[in-house]
Amino acid sequence: MNYTFSDITQDGDAYRANFLFEDGSTISFPFVTPPSQEEANKKISEYLWGQELLAEKGEDRVYNNGVLVRVDAHNKGSSSVGIASGIRAPYNQQHVSTYFWGFPSEELLDQWGVFDRNDLVDWYAIKATDDGRSFFKLFRYAASWPNEPSFSSEVWVYASVFSEDGTESDIKDVYVKISPEEMRQWCFNNNCTYPLPPEETKKPWCYGVYWNSTTGVIEGVKGYVRYT
């Protein structure tokens, strides 16, 4: 939604930065001291970014090594589906990635040979590759896998992938909500490529790091950018 900076007004001991949207609606944000226009614009940018994450329809653009590798279409009440490039093991070819909202059933966990059913998150994914294979991606709020990368920000969720024969891949995922500046520094410190290309200027809502839990090698970093 387009907006213009209106003015800064004083409300008692507080100050408010006021904005006008193209539809005639207004919004204001409180500050303890008179904000600069840059500070006011940063506040409304963060607000609008948060509103996008709550939208009923949209898409996530997923980047890796500066390349767009997947676009997930979201529609509230429906599964999210995306066509993905094969950038990583074990599904290292083009595939359809379908995310289902809700806890996986006991029957589904049995089917994929999942024995550890602790700390599960209420969504999961099925990956179907072009050569006819399928993979099950399971998400958790907690995990104790070897050689986990460390972050200054709190880890959001973890994920692992199961093959049809019940084999769990050594390649694990960790997802973290962290500022782009911190993530750039983390990538530099860990000899990784920052995932977004220069032309993508929107702030990612999260980053995913996948690593080999046996060797400890960090294999890649993904950035998730929401569009509505």
Exposed (0-12), middle (13-18) or buried (19+): which is 147, by Cβ within 10 Å? Answer: middle
Spans in the chain with pLDDT lower than 70 = 1
pLDDT digits (tens, 9 = 90+) for 105-121: 999 999 999 999 999 99
pLDDT value at residue 159: 98
Rounded distance, CA 171 to CA 30, Å?
45
As a whole number of Å, the CA-based R_g of the chain is 20
Q: What is the pTM of this model?
A: 0.83
Query: Which pLDDT score is estimated for 38?
Result: 87
Tens digit of each residue's pLDDT (9 = 90 or more) over 19-67? 998 888 998 888 989 989 888 888 888 888 778 877 889 999 999 999 9
Position 204 scores a pLDDT of: 95
Nearest to 210 by CA among 61, 60, 64: 64
